């Protein structure tokens, strides 16, 4: 199992994994989540608007079903999905 600090780095400190009895991970919002994350293209800070943990979805990167998390940003139409299966923070294109 990954350390807490590695998990916080992986998801920019927005989510942390909870594991059930079968070992399946569910991502939940971290209590001390940052207000911004860096844009993957420019590095400029993007202000977090909403955080939705325990979101049942299919990861757009690995195609695995799971209970990950979505993040939306102020003034930016992109979403990001944090996947508990492949442990990636996947940026989704905006409208």
Q: 62 near 81, Cβ under 8 Å? A: no
In this prediction, residues 57-62 reach a mean pLDDT of: 96
Q: Give the tens place of pLDDT for each residue, 29-53.
A: 999 999 999 999 999 999 999 999 9
Q: What angle do CA 13, 16, 19 make, to 5 degrees?
A: 165
Structure-block tokens of residue 45? 């800070």
Separation of first and last alpha carbons in the chain: 36
The pTM (predicted TM-score) of the whole model is 0.87
For 7-18, the pLDDT digits (tens) are: 558 899 999 999
């Amino acid at each position: 199992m990954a350390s807490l600090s590695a998990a916080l780095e992986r998801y920019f400190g927005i989510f942390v994994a909870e594991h059930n009895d079968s070992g399946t991970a569910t991502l939940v919002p971290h209590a001390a989540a940052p207000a911004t994350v860096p844009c993957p293209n420019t590095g400029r800070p993007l202000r977090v608007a909403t955080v939705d943990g325990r979101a049942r979805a299919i990861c757009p990167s690995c195609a695995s079903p799971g209970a990950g998390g979505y993040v939306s940003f102020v003034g930016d139409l992109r979403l990001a999905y944090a996947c508990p299966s492949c442990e990636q923070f996947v940026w989704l294109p905006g409208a």
